[in-house]
Amino acid sequence: MSSFITMESIQHSYNKEVVLKNVNLAIPEGQLFGLLGPSGSGKTTLVKMMIGLLTPSNGIIHIENEQMPSFHQMQKIGYMAQSDALYNELTARENLLFFASLYKIPKKLRKQRITEAASLVNLTEHLDKTLEKFSGGMKRRMSLAIALLHHPKVLILDEPTVGIDPVLRASIWEELRNKQKQGTTIIVTTHVMDEAEKCDNLALLRDGYVIAQGSPDDLKAKSETQSLEHAFLHFGGGSHANSSNH
């Protein structure tokens, strides 16, 4: 598999605080890749750079050999942010229609794409409710539906299953696997170890550094531990690298 997304020598500062320190990542096409790290380790900052929303203070990012930010590449990305950017006064269907037109999905395809995306996240029967009536988990599912609407080649999901119940969480992961089988490259941020276990490869982040990279099995083998949580600690995850305090 060729490297689809590359991040080379990425550094980033907000004001004077350095939050990413020489990050190098190579994500092959078609992978389900996880960024695992505690709160504040730099996951969101990294994904904002991948989607072209933020330019690193130093370093270069390429997607399919095009340097980011590239408008051409940005059109092929589906992004689900940590906070939902939705229109509360509109219905779910109206929100989806709005984003379908923003993504320039041909008019004759829009209805079908909306039906499909709503069904994937189990919101079909709520399509005509305004989002004011939605729970936090339903809004997360709406955001995921929007990210899937234009059949993106790359799906970048920032903590996609926070606030979602275990049954739906499992079905969302199954759906991500299906998307991956269809060729989608997927990047997921998480601080939950059992979600990280589901990824093909992981980058473990701590305080703006990538402290280790590899498949969950590699990371456990290299650290001679039985769990990712222990592997994280082994590689320098320190005291706040666990799944239970977030």
What are the residues binding ligand ATP (CB under 6 A)? 14, 19, 37, 39-45, 82, 191
Nearest distance from C-beta of residue 65 to ligand ATP, angstroms: 26
The residue among 81 and 127 lying less far from ligand ATP, judged by its C-beta, is 81
Q: Are 83 and 136 in contact (CB under 8 A)?
A: no
Cα-atom radius of gyration of the chain, to the nearest Å? 18
The residue among 30 and 52 lying less far from ligand ATP, judged by its C-beta, is 52
Nearest distance from C-beta of residue 55 to ligand ATP, angstroms: 13
71: phi then psi, degrees, rounded to nearest 5: -60, -40
Calpha distance 243→231 (Å, rounded): 12
Nearest distance from C-beta of residue 41 to ligand ATP, angstroms: 4
Coil, helix or strand at residue 68: coil
How many Cβ atoms sit within 10 Å of the Cβ of residue 31?
Answer: 18
The residue among 100 and 156 lying less far from ligand ATP, judged by its C-beta, is 156
Identify any residues that bridge with 28 across adjacent strands, giving them in sequence order: 3
The residue among 113 and 159 lying less far from ligand ATP, judged by its C-beta, is 159
Nearest distance from C-beta of residue 82 to ligand ATP, angstroms: 6
Long-range contacts, stretch 17-21, CB < 8 angstroms, 24+ apart? 18/208, 19/45, 19/208, 20/45, 20/46, 20/56, 20/208, 21/207, 21/208, 21/209
Structure tokens at 82: 């940590």
The residue among 43 and 230 lying less far from ligand ATP, judged by its C-beta, is 43
Q: Are 171 and 138 in contact (CB under 8 A)?
A: no
Nearest distance from C-beta of residue 188 to ligand ATP, angstroms: 12
The residue among 14 and 87 lying less far from ligand ATP, judged by its C-beta, is 14
Nearest distance from C-beta of residue 84 to ligand ATP, angstroms: 14
Nearest distance from C-beta of residue 185 to ligand ATP, angstroms: 20
Question: DSSP assignment, residue 157?
Answer: E
Q: Which of 82, 100, 189 is closest to 146 using CA atoms? A: 100
The residue among 1 and 53 lying less far from ligand ATP, judged by its C-beta, is 53
